[in-house]
């Protein structure tokens, strides 16, 4: 098991659709173990394979929830069905979202309060559950990574402009930028 570098916005693997996992084998389980190690070291609540430079449809999560779902898990080849997303402005105090691939920054974003999640675990066993509240947000955030989207791509004009300005200021938006959890300073100050 290894902590892998986290790719930063601008790397092509983050901005294209990941491909389906076809084989559930020891290589896949080793990747998932590395993803858990990386997520844990980064103090993340989720991590998608594209965030460690691998263009496969996999994400890990760790989030206590009220939905009778194990608080730690992996989803391979997931699908999501979303509830309605409110058209209201996001609340900067209650709906602030961050991302390990946009390290150190967070912005308010509206998300659906409910989602149905289906996919497979590391062994290919089907997984099917509903997620609500912040747990639903985590599922949507990680799933977006598998479709080549970052949460900053969904921001409204006001927050999107601020995010683009900060990305330019940080020198991101180009391939090759990474940070290594456990070695580089924690960008979110955990």
Which of 190, 171, 147 minimizes the C-alpha distance to 45? 190
**145 a known binding residue?**
yes
Active site residue 142: yes
Q: Going by DSSP bridges, is the β-strand pair 6-7/46-48 parallel, antiparallel, or unpaired? A: unpaired
101, two tokens = 């691939």
List, in sequence order, every residue forming a beta bridge with 47; answer none if it has no partner: 60
15 among annotated binding-site residues: no
**Distance (Å, whole) CA 145 – CA 154:** 12
Catalytic residue among 22, 27, 97, 142: 142
The response to whether 190 counts as a known ligand-binding position is: no
User: Binding site: residue ranges?
Assistant: 99, 141, 145
Q: Which residues are annotated as a binding site for Fe cation?
A: 99, 141, 145
- Give catalytic residues, as residue numbers: 142
């Amino acid at each position: 098991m290894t902590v892998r570098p986290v790719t930063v916005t601008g790397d092509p693997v983050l901005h294209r659709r990941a491909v389906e996992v076809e084989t559930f084998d020891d290589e896949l389980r080793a990747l998932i173990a590395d993803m858990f190690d990386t997520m844990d070291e980064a103090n993340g609540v989720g991590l998608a394979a594209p965030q460690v430079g691998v263009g496969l449809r996999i994400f890990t999560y760790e989030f206590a929830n009220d939905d009778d779902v194990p608080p730690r898990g992996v989803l391979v080849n997931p699908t999501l069905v979303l509830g309605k997303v409110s058209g209201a402005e996001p609340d900067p105090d209650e709906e602030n979202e961050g991302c390990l691939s946009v390290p150190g920054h967070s912005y308010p974003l509206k998300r659906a309060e409910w989602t149905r999640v289906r996919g497979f675990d590391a062994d290919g066993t089907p997984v099917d559950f509903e997620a609500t509240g912040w747990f639903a947000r985590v599922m949507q955030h990680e799933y977006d990574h598998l479709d080549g989207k970052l949460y900053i791509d969904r921001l409204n004009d006001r927050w999107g402009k601020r995010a683009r300005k900060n990305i330019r200021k940080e020198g991101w938006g180009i391939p090759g930028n990474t940070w290594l959890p456990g070695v580089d300073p924690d960008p979110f100050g955990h």
